[in-house]
Amino acid sequence: MSRRRASDDEWDGLPVWGPTTRSKKRLVFVKATGVHLRTVEPAARAADEEDSASFYKRITTERAVSPDFMEIPAPEQLNRCTVCAVTYPRGRADEHHRSLAHLIAADPSSITPSTQYGLKSTNLGWQALQQQGWQEGRPLGRDGSGLKVPIRPSVKRDRSGIGMEQKKERLADRQYVIKSTKPVEPILPARPLTAKEIQRQKKAETDQWKAVYADLNA
């Protein structure tokens, strides 16, 4: 038995839902052109637009009159010191004259470091120089052409004579100390003498006594 194929018109007439959905109500679609839809009320939309406009106007007005954007401070007037060549604000001359840069430029001798020799007032050489009119920090000599700083003493630790040409090694050099230090030789116990060594020692002592007696009797 042959089956007849359904035409397209017959398929279009069949419902799109199955047996389980036949009891549900059919959906009725309403055309958009037939009903006026409103998502936002006109009064609320106008209020929002007014708030946005007022907010934008407020921030632009505040930015226009803000001193950070419009007011630029005038440059501060400065003076230049003829002593130390340092610029300082006008009206603060007293503060500048008390500054370290101005004081040093005005009197450089005030920052000259004092000479420290490390000698106490009880030192005999120090006392002798003071009695002869010497002042600390000034060179020796009548015309002031002598030494200003004493010769630094050096400790002599070797037994060589003065003027002997010898390579001076630094005492703080650890390698030099290790090389110059000789190892201590261990003391070995004495071995017993042989018979020949004992006879030779006795003969040497006898010959020594004979020589002494011969000198006394001569």
Residue 87 covered by a domain = yes
Residue 126 covered by a domain = no
- Report the alpha-carbon angle 159-165-171, nearest 5: 55
Residues 78 and 89: beta-carbon distance below 8 Å: yes
Q: How many helices (H) and strands (E) does the chain have?
A: 7, 2
Q: What is the pTM of this model?
A: 0.23
Range of the domain at 46: 42-73
pLDDT in tens, 57-107: 777 766 555 455 556 666 778 888 888 888 888 888 888 888 888 888 888
The full DSSP string for 60-107 is HHHHHH-TTTS--PPPPPEEE-TTT--EEETT-HHHHHTSHHHHHHH-
Residue 59 covered by a domain = yes
For residue 3, what is the DSSP state? Answer: P
Residue 16 covered by a domain = no
Counted domains in the chain = 2
Residue 69 covered by a domain = yes
pLDDT in tens, 97-152: 888 888 888 887 666 555 555 667 788 887 887 888 777 777 777 777 777 766 76
Those residues with Cβ within 8 angstroms of residue 170's Cβ, 6 or more apart along the chain or in another chain: 176
Give the residue from 87, 108, 129 where a domain finishes.
108
